[in-house]
Chains A and B, each alone.
Chain A
Amino acid sequence: MTAISAAGLTKRYGRVAAVEDVSFDITEGEIVGFLGPNGAGKTTTLRLLAGLIHPTQGTSQILGRPVPGSGLLEVGTMIEEPSFYPYLTGRANLKHASLLHGGVSENRIDEVLEFVRMEQASNKKVAAYSQGMRQRLGLARALLWRPRVLLLDEPTNGLDPVGIAEIRENLRMIAREGVTILISSHILAEIEKVVERILAIDKGKLRFDGPLQQLLQRLDAQTLSYRLAATDHEALNRALRTLGYTPEPVDDRFVRVTVPTAEASRLLSQLIEHQVEILEARREADTLEGAYLRLVEEDGRPS
């Protein structure tokens, strides 16, 4: 069964098209990454699917029912930074949402709080929560009524690496229960371990719809970025320039260098040949502002 369906979805603000003619179908149980740089139209699309804004053209459906409509009662969302009533406790915020939706027991509130490891802090007022706690509480609220569809917009925004790993693990557990998840991010590395399929959007238009592996191959087929540190910073810069690369300073210690994928495996040995003593070499997470945009610019049309 199709869980989420968009057909020619368009949203214009005056003459500016935030989303233009976006169409896709997501089958029930699929976990789909929604990728695109900031301002690409991800959040607008999610808002359209959640019935918060009305399309200028096109339609969408959730579980076969038109949006807006009763299908939305089966949807949990976390769109942008989760917001709460600051004068209520975390638990009271969940209680309010559960009353609003209906059919949610007190036990379920305990369950979701336990799931996101927020039982201890749940009786504190939300005004005192950290960004990470708010993010986790937002996920708990999205799960309150056991939604069959989850729309998550940058759920790891502002989280530290531990928090990101926790959210990622939570999503894997939710996915195992058969929940359909559409998760947006502008950082490929954040979601590549969770999703199976990618929808990529840029300037409001859908540029890519296919398996994650296909996108990764296309990105890898071009360039990779590394962060390098050496005992002699200047020698490292000189060697990179000699080899024909352009080192970009990151800080006093690291430089970033982008190399064609085919040459990546030879990079370290070439530096050693130039008498550069490498202390650290890290492959950088490919951000969509970088790698994906290169793909789009070179490709220029949807796949």
Chain B
Amino acid sequence: MNATVNVIRAELFKALRKRRTYILAALQWVLLPVLVLIAGRVVQVNVSGSFVDEGELVDTIIQVIASPFGIARLSLMGPSYVSPTFYMIVIALFAALLIGEEKSQNMWKTALVAQPNRLAVLGGKFVVAMTLYAAFLLGAYLSSILFGAIGMVFLPTNFTGEWGALLGLYALQWLHGAAAFMFAFLMIFLARNIALGIVMVFFLPALLEGLYTVYRTAIGFQPLNRLNVIFQALRLRTTLEELPRYFFTYNQYAPARSPTFELVTALGGDAAGSDFGPFSNFLGAGITLSHATLVMAGYAVFFGALLTWLFLRRDVQ
């Protein structure tokens, strides 16, 4: 236990002296809220009082996107909709800092002599990764309140919102990061090269899931054709059709994407009655949060076990 605490202290010491940590935090904590406030102001100045502004429509839109709660909700959702997702960028870069630098800077020979308990080294690095990620998400939540309050000076917004429920989604998104960090650690450690490891973290799940989607769209599982006959014979058809429910990315971002329909409805859309087809999973529909959390726990156990096995066995130079 002491060894793990030592590793946590050392890795925090290192991470807090790396400029990258602050750049990532600034992007999430400052840039996104500022952009949202600018958007809110633009809408207010240009649309308010125009022919589209019936009643309190514009004020409602501004409240939905640029109120303290609106910014906090967008700060959770926004990073999950860029590609590669900002969450994965943050996770990959923190993972590279914590487990990739030892290889690139030839530091394993020093780190594993200063602390030869490899399990403690891996455990400590994982705890630090999760701590930094928690600070990153909590900072986004708190900075939304701050910037939202600043916005209240020049925008017709207030503090209304389901703050507790939103904080719960932030916490769940953080928890889902455990599997993502295990995956990122594994890829970067496996690749022995930071750049290749990061590329694998960004694109490997998307590539596998994309190939599945192409197959499903182009060929499908329903008709009995030459390609599907094997799946049919193995009674895998239903399993394959259900596969997207277990995809890494869909489940990973489920908490962040879950307010999507609520937001669409708040902006006047008819999200509940729409069929988004193959985009349902992408938009956070079709899977419950408890399902997503269970799936991510499974991924965390799988990647964690593989990573630990490799880390304890591998020779380091």
Whether B111 contacts A68 by the Cβ 8 Å rule is no
* CB < 8 Å neighbour of B114 from A69, A83, A97: A97
Interface range, A side: 35 or more
Mask of A50-69 contacts with B, CB within 8 angstroms, 1/0: 11111000000000000011
How far apart sit A70 and B19, CA to CA, in the bound complex (Å)? Answer: 34
Asked if B18 lies at the interface with its beta carbon under 8 angstroms from chain A, I say yes
- Does residue A162 face the partner (Cβ distance < 8 Å to B)? no
A102 sits at the interface (CB 8 A):
yes
Q: Which of B97-124 contact A (CB under 8 A)?
A: 101, 105-116, 118
A97–B112 touching, CB < 8 Å: no
Partner of B116, one of A51, A87, A99, A144: A51
Q: What's the least CB distance linking B194 to chain A, in Å?
A: 14
Q: Of the listed stretches B4-12, B22-30, B159-167, B249-257, name the one at the interface; the rest are far from the partner chain.
A: B4-12
**Contact status B113-A50, CB under 8 Å:** yes
Select B6's contact among A85, A95, A102, beta carbons within 8 Å.
A102
One digit per residue, 1 when the CB lies within 8 angstroms of any chain B CB and 0 when it does not, for chain A 76-88 equals 1101101111111
**B17 contacts which chain A residues (CB < 8 A)?**
87-88, 92
Q: Is the CB of B113 within 8 A of A99?
A: no
Would A75 and B10 count as touching, CB distance under 8 A? no
A–B pairs, 27, beta carbons within 8 Å: A47-B109, A47-B317, A50-B109, A50-B112, A51-B112, A51-B113, A51-B116, A52-B109, A52-B113, A52-B317, A54-B315, A68-B118, A73-B116, A76-B113, A77-B113, A80-B109, A82-B110, A83-B110, A84-B105, A84-B110, A86-B105, A87-B17, A99-B9, A100-B114, A102-B115, A141-B110, A145-B114
Listed from nearest, the 9 A-B pairs whose CB atoms lie closest are A99-B10, A72-B116, A53-B315, A83-B106, A100-B10, A102-B6, A100-B114, A101-B114, A100-B115
What is A's interface to B at a CB cutoff of 8 Å?
A: 47, 50-54, 68-70, 72-73, 75-77, 79-80, 82-88, 92, 95-102, 141, 144-145
- Apart from A77-B109, A84-B105: 8 A-B pairs, beta carbons within 8 A: A52-B108, A68-B116, A88-B17, A99-B9, A100-B115, A102-B2, A102-B3, A144-B114
B residues bordering A, Cβ < 8 Å?
A: 2-3, 5-7, 9-10, 13-14, 17-19, 101, 105-116, 118, 313, 315-317
